[in-house]
């Protein structure tokens, strides 16, 4: 925000993650000497990083270089999202238009939409902690086509709802035959309220279907500065 860049950093506790964002990290990272937390992921695995550089300045340089590189990427989809809350339950109405030039389908390239609720409050290290996340499979979305998905997240453990926000992200595997790595195509911050043109063709889906596996987290002994997981959602990929 201080740099004037349209970026959102989200954090999870790597030892107690929600959704399948942590799986995106494991599928994209190449482990090597010195492997350890923090685990940093940009655009669902477009770029990843782990461990602490020799000094905090070096860490910042490496991390921000990944962010800057991601900001240069064109959007692969358009997303319009709205959410409504009833007590602790959250419904998210999402409309996705495919701009990637590829047919997006979970069975062929893992195309998945994610709804995430985060709270602007200090939990581990940052002030944007993910409280709940739900992935839904995208089915046969041809280039230029539009589809609607509805998410229902039950009993979201937000403490202060006036500090909560909802984001929707779309990702896929760009090379499903040769790599397990994922990339984001688009992300959008949801607007509170109902869709202005909502019609019965908005198909409600209350549970995740055919979502990627949940990979057990390797045993890593954390230090007070190392229990974190960031997912990066560039709003340059949120042009509605």
| Burial zone of 186 (CB within 10 Å; 0-12 exposed, 13-18 middle, 19+ buried) | buried
Contact between 211 and 171 under an 8 Å Cβ cutoff? The reply is no
Tokens 């993650």 identify what position? 17
Cα separation of the two ends of the chain? 20
**DSSP secondary structure letter of residue 211:** P
Q: Which fold has domain 7-237?
A: Immunoglobulin-like (2.60.40)
CB atoms within 10 A of CB 136: 22
Q: Is 150 exposed, middle or buried (0-12, 13-18, 19+ CB in 10 A)?
A: middle
Per-residue pLDDT of the chain (240 residues; tens, 9 = 90+): 677 777 888 999 988 999 999 999 999 987 765 677 888 999 999 999 887 766 666 888 888 899 999 999 999 999 999 999 999 999 999 999 999 999 999 999 999 999 999 999 988 888 899 999 999 999 999 999 999 999 999 999 999 999 999 999 999 999 999 999 999 999 999 999 999 865 444 444 434 444 444 444 343 333 332 333 334 443 333 333
pLDDT at 57: 67
């Amino acid at each position: 925000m201080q740099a004037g860049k349209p970026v959102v950093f989200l954090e999870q506790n790597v030892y107690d993650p929600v959704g399948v964002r942590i799986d995106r990290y494991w599928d994209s990272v190449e482990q090597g000497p010195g492997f350890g937390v923090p685990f940093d992921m940009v655009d669902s695995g477009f770029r990843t990083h782990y461990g602490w550089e020799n000094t905090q300045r070096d860490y910042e340089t490496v991390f921000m270089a990944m962010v800057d590189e991601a900001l240069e990427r064109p959007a692969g989809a358009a997303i319009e999202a709205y959410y409504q809350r009833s007590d602790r339950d959250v419904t998210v109405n999402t409309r996705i238009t495919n701009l990637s030039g590829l047919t997006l389908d979970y069975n062929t390239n893992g195309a998945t939409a994610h709804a995430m609720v985060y709270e602007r409050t200090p939990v581990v290290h940052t002030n944007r902690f993910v409280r709940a996340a739900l992935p839904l499979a995208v089915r046969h979305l041809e280039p230029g086509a539009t589809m609607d998905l509805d998410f229902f997240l039950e009993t979201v453990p937000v403490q202060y709802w006036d500090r909560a926000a909802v984001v929707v992200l779309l990702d896929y595997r760009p090379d499903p035959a040769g790599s397990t790595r994922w990339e984001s195509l688009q992300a959008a911050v949801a607007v509170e309220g109902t869709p202005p043109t909502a019609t019965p063709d908005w198909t409600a889906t209350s549970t995740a279907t055919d979502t990627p596996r949940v990979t057990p987290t390797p045993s890593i002994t954390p230090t007070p500065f190392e229990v974190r997981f960031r997912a990066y959602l560039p709003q340059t990929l949120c042009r509605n």
